Amino acid sequence: MKTRTLGGLKVSALGLGCMSMSSAYGPPANKADSIALIRFAHERGVTLFDTAEAYGPFANEELVGEALAPIRDQVVIATKFGFDIDLTTGARRGGTNSRPEHIKQVAEASLKRLKTDRIDLFYQHRVDPKVPIEDVAGALKDLIATGKVKHWGLSEAGVQTIRRANAVQPLTAVQSEYSLFYRGVEAEVLPVCEELGIGFVPFSPLGAGFLTGKIDQNTKFDPTDFRSAVPRFSPEARKANMGLVDIVKAVAEHKGATPAQVALAWLLAQKPWIVPIPGTTKRNRLEENLGATNLALTARDLQELAEALAKFDVQGERLPEAALKMTGL
């Protein structure tokens, strides 16, 4: 597996997003199968594993902690704080909570669930409008000084928040949605990351599965699958957006690859400090995704994609309205 560097943190060129094993994409996957998949990913060279206290809540951190305990010193664990979740019961109280004292309590709880003595990369999951980002950065500076956290990052943050946070405690990574299906970070966020030497970690790099070509207007989502409430995944939007999948499929056919591999290779080709974290619960999909690291898109391939994308207008918001309000993008 090729490696990349996120603001000084060396990781595999592709990471593994673990959220879907426990939440958001329908009923949780089988725990034993998920543990086996995480360990298999490591055998194949993956070193960056992404989780969060909110996934479950708590269940995903516990899963990742158990899976990686035997190989803890060989991997990088990224987790997140920032939602208002009762640390005892896991009950969601709604909204965000990045008060410094709460961040430190979350860190202690996450360390226990992850069965580790340090968090390699600790993200603020969403910007908290009630807490100055300088206070958040100060709390992370304290945690880094103790050794309980090694690096920190922001998720779905705007450029001014990134600048202000980085001025207090240098950021290692920014994590936000980015794919051929959503390119909103290109105008401002990516240039600021490049300027400040911050790595970028795209979540939903396969457009929440849409870019794989396995979803169409007739696909039925489980009621517990977040896509069932996303405007971009309404039957009408899916039908309108199939043209984007056709563009990716055409390149895939030309390259002897799959649409998923083209979508991931496109992200890898954007900048050397971009590390996508596709998620899956299936070994064959993991193998397919990892194949993207060996797929070289030529300048002509990228130009053809750029020209086709410039003519395509993706339909539907990427998140429900309430979720959009919680992002800084």
325 CB-contact burial (10 Å; exposed 0-12 / middle 13-18 / buried 19+): exposed
271 CB-contact burial (10 Å; exposed 0-12 / middle 13-18 / buried 19+): middle
- Hey, which residues are catalytic here? 55
Tokens of 38: 């995480």
Contact of 179 with 211, CB cutoff 8 Å: yes
Residues 51, 279: Cα–Cα separation, whole Å: 11
Tokens of 322: 């309430």
